[in-house]
């Protein structure tokens, strides 16, 4: 083949190669553009779908929010109607007057009384006489003390006086080892005191006698304190008005037509009326803090598992409930909270109660409402105003600027409490109403109740009937609400750190009329949510509202920071006065 032919072939090859390259490049570009267009089309379609879904969710949320607001308006109207009706029923002379305090010893803190006994300025027997006399004065009006051991207590008071008078033990040693020597106290009828009734308000347990003291009562006895009586509770301690078919109903010392709360309502009432030096309550949904709120006293719910629950009846039926239920002190003076907690917790090293607290180093956060739960009362203006007063005080006195927050999940407080109280096994409420000896027939008992023949209260029967409602342990709704609880818990922990406290309403309104909680059953959610979050909390009384009824707030910290709550309680007592004696001082 001539060289020129070869050259022509090469030229033709090169030419064809160029065409092929251009052709391939064009195909590649078109392909890429097609892919880009396709992806762009898909992405656009996805964006449109997402936009449509977001719009749908927005509409759904808007409808949910609209529905919640409508429900809230309807609930507020129903509340108003019943408020008027209850006012008509209990108005016009139904209120009984409270005997004023004549013995000034009753105004003293338990710690001051203990010091005076120890230093022989007064005797334990004199103190006992003062409180026995006060119980006899107020109990016919209030019905707060339902069992007593005055004779046994007198012997124990005499023994305490003899021990002090012998002077064999130095005062300093007595102060450390028996800080409440000779001081009389009361507790609720679900925390056993040896020899006294242990009924928990359940009719079938009316003859039951405690064979031993509860662990907390035993610790107080070791510290020298003297139990003198038991106070009233709701049936099986599962309602927030203290009334049952054994002991009857307890009346509020500020207005006897109003409730005392529950289930430690009798104890809250006894403390407010100065019927004992201090008290012990228990709390699984607000049973210390609500009575403290309604009766204008201090009440502390400790960190879980720091105060022994041994003896409490009913007992928790799950590991979770063991952390929700707490036993804690109730008293008129904030200074008593810390030494009492030291005693009943065995001065748990986890609580670091001996560590001093500097108020100026505490961070203050607060929230005025739960965000508007549809079946929960609106927080009253008098209670909302407290947060402004507290914030102003901390800024003026300690240069602390309180931070207002809005934790949205509090709006689900009621459902979260009910869900987290579910247990995988154990007795039902119907079993417990039968005193764990079979199960009651709630429908038959309700029929009997209509004719006054049932041994159970209406609310106990209603609770039995609805306990299977809502979610079930382990189902999808249960898991969702538990996750929501856990998420809220993390939010609060992140907010507080190790030096913060959170102020929150203890209850949305001051004490309602007797039976009125039936119209607003979920108002307890303001306290109940703190139980399932597993935080400690202290109720702090902040004076009286426009109706002459006690109001206040609860202060919450992370676990084992109880001392911060107690320090804030003392600070606010100094600033705002704390307990206001009902009936005045003669």
> Any idea which residues carry the catalytic annotation?
188, 263, 287
Distance CA 250, CA 264 (A): 11
Compute how many other C-beta atoms are within 10 angstroms of the C-beta atom of residue 219: 19
Distance CA 15, CA 38 (A): 34
DSSP state of 451: T
| Nearest one of 550, 567, 76 to 290, comparing CA atoms | 550
Asked whether the CA dihedral 366, 372, 376, 380 is positive or negative, the reply is positive
Q: Which two tokens stand for residue 338?
A: 């810390």
Distance CA 415, CA 331 (A): 31
Distance CA 466, CA 449 (A): 17
Apex 281 CA angle, 204 and 545, nearest 5: 115
DSSP state of 299: E
Q: How many residues does the chain have?
A: 586
Find out whether 96 and 256 touch, Cβ atoms under 8 Å. Answer: yes
Find out whether 187 and 223 touch, Cβ atoms under 8 Å. Answer: no
Distance CA 421, CA 478 (A): 10
Find out whether 126 and 147 touch, Cβ atoms under 8 Å. Answer: no
Strand partners, 249: 243
Q: 116: Cβ–Cβ under 8 A, 6 or more apart, which residues?
A: 108, 122
Q: Is 175 exposed, middle or buried (0-12, 13-18, 19+ CB in 10 A)?
A: middle
Find out whether 29 and 21 touch, Cβ atoms under 8 Å. Answer: no
């Amino acid at each position: 083949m001539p060289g020129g032919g070869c050259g022509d072939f090469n030229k033709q090859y090169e030419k064809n190669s160029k065409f092929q390259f251009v052709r391939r490049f064009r195909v590649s570009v078109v392909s890429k553009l097609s892919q880009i267009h396709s992806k762009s089309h898909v992405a656009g379609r996805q964006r449109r779908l997402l936009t449509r879904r977001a719009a749908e969710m927005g509409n759904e949320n808007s409808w949910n929010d609209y529905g919640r607001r409508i429900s809230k308006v309807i609930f507020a109207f129903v509340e108003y109607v019943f408020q008027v009706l209850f006012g008509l029923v209990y108005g016009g002379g139904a209120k009984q007057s409270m005997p004023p305090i004549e013995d000034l010893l009753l105004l003293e803190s338990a710690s001051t009384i203990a010091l005076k006994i120890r230093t022989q300025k007064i005797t334990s027997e004199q103190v006992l006489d003062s409180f026995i006399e006060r119980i006899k004065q107020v109990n016919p009006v209030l019905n707060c003390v339902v069992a007593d051991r005055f004779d046994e207590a007198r012997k124990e008071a005499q023994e305490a006086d003899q021990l002090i008078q012998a002077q064999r033990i130095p005062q300093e040693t007595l102060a450390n080892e028996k800080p409440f020597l000779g001081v009389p106290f009361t507790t609720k009828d679900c925390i056993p005191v040896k020899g006294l009734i242990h009924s928990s308000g359940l009719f079938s347990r009316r003859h039951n006698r405690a064979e031993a003291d509860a662990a907390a009562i035993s610790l107080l006895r070791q510290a020298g304190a003297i139990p003198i009586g038991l106070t009233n509770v709701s049936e099986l301690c599962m309602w927030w008005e203290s009334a049952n078919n054994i002991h009857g109903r307890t009346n509020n010392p500020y207005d006897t037509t109003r409730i005392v709360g529950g289930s430690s309502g009798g104890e809250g009432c006894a403390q407010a009326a100065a019927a004992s030096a201090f008290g012990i309550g228990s709390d699984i949904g607000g049973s210390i803090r609500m009575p403290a709120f309604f009766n204008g006293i201090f009440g502390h719910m400790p960190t879980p598992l720091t105060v022994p629950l041994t003896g409490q009846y009913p007992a928790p039926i799950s590991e979770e409930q063991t952390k929700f239920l707490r036993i804690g002190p109730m008293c008129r003076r904030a200074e008593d909270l810390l030494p009492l907690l030291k005693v009943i917790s065995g001065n748990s090293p986890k609580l670091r109660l001996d560590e001093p607290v500097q108020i100026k180093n505490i961070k203050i956060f607060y929230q005025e409402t739960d965000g508007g739960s549809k079946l929960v009362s609106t927080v009253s203006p008098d209670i909302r105003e407290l947060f402004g007063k507290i914030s102003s005080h901390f800024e003026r006195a300690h240069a602390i600027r309180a931070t207002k927050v809005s934790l949205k999940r509090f709006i689900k407080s009621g459902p979260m409490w009910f869900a987290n109280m579910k247990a995988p096994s154990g007795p039902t409420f119907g079993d417990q109403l039968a005193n764990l000896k079979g199960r009651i027939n709630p429908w038959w008992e309700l029929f009997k109740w209509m004719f006054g023949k049932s041994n159970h209260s209406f609310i106990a029967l209603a609770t039995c009937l609805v306990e299977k409602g809502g979610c079930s342990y382990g189902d999808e709704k249960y898991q969702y609400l538990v996750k929501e609880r856990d998420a809220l818990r993390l939010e609060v922990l992140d907010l507080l750190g190790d030096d913060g406290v959170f102020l929150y309403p203890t209850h949305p309104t001051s004490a309602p009329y007797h039976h009125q909680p039936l119209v607003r059953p979920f108002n307890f959610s303001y306290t109940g949510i703190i139980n399932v979050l597993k935080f400690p909390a202290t109720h702090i009384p902040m004076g009286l509202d426009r109706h002459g009824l006690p109001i206040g707030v609860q202060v919450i910290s992370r676990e084992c920071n109880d001392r911060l709550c107690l320090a804030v309680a003392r600070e606010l007592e100094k600033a705002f006065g704390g307990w206001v004696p009902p009936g005045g001082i003669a």
